Structure 1
Amino acid sequence: MPKNKKKAESSSSDSDDGPVDKNQPPEKKAKMGSRTDDKEPTWVLQGKKLVKIREFKGKVYIDIREFYEKNGELLPGKKGISMTPDMWRKLLSLSDEINETISSMC
């Protein structure tokens, strides 16, 4: 953990500006943990934090992102991460080790 940890600002994000499609159609609201009927496969983690499988510039990404509502539409925000399928598989392969570490800290 870095020694000089900055205090997070509500408008800042540590994420890259990855594939954010600002012209995407409005989404239907979904219950927590359920899949929406969106054209893109979508699951709700909590509130407006969603997991989507999206295509951007001909490539597939797993997009974990916080969305915001504007004029009745859910739009992708900057806070999030987009992973290639290889990165997603790598994260999943680390899940047991990550869970053990979490358990030892709690």
Structure 2
Amino acid sequence: SSTKGPGGEHMFQLSTMRFATVSEFRGRVMVGIREYYDAGGELKPGKKGISLTLEQWTSLKEQMDEIDEAVKELS
């Protein structure tokens, strides 16, 4: 389930300090995966991460079965 981040973005926790986010930037919806850090009790986005446009997100989702197969091969 998602929570609202400090900037109003939807945050989905992946691990202790890593989140997937859905936010708006300059009028465009972006999907991000980013590490966060604790700044005095408030979560702040770190430098490590990536933001995908909706087009890139759609492309990633369309290739998910192939990505899963590649992960299985290497696991």
TM-score > 0.5, shorter chain as reference: yes
Radius of gyration: which is bigger?
Answer: 1
For residues 105 and 52 of structure 1, the distance between their equivalents in structure 2, rounded to whole angstroms, comes to 27
Over the aligned positions, Cα root-mean-square deviation in angstroms equals 1.2
Bigger helix share: 2
* Unaligned runs of at least 5 residues, structure 2: none
TM-score by length of 2: 0.87
Q: 1:48 aligns with which of 8, 14, 17?
A: 17
Which of 1 and 2 has higher RCO (CA within 8 Å, sep 6+)? 1
Equivalenced residues, count = 73
Over 4 Å off, 4+ runs? none
Give the share of equivalent positions with the same residue, in percent.
40
Letter in 2 for 1:73: E
TM-score by length of 1: 0.64
Bigger strand share: 2
